[in-house]
Structure 1
Amino acid sequence: MLGKVTGTACKNSMFDPPPTKETAVIQLRQKAANMGASGVYGITYGTDPNPVSKNCWAIITATGTAYSVK
């Protein structure tokens, strides 16, 4: 186990499409790969109650545990 990793999908402007779980998972997997992970398990999803503080109209997060198989 390499540790916890989080991916975020953000709707930056009111004209952007809404954030999706799929986009958050893409970010999650990219961060895990950068850590040298083989994969991610236990993925959970959430939203941010105050997305404006992060310069977004809406946010979806995906959080999981990165692991490596040797």
Structure 2
Amino acid sequence: TEKSDAKTTKETLKWVHIAISNAKRTLLGNYHKIKRKYLQLYLNEFIYKLNRRYFGDKLFDRMVIANITGA
């Protein structure tokens, strides 16, 4: 744990705050009643989509390679 001032927080945690706010908006936009039982699954889906947002047309190629190599 590290205590930081407002400037450090604003610079360091900018993208963390953006990711959290995007997750909240996505979850509230897609799932109107979020049950605690399924929260981890919802977050897993959000992270999966977040990590693959820039793959675009390379997604199919990556999937083929992953299937061939067994990764």
With structure 1 as the length reference, what TM-score do the two structures score? 0.29
Higher normalized strand content (fraction of residues): 1
Q: Over alpha carbons, which structure has the higher Rg?
A: 2
With structure 2 as the length reference, what TM-score do the two structures score? 0.29
Higher normalized helix content (fraction of residues): 2
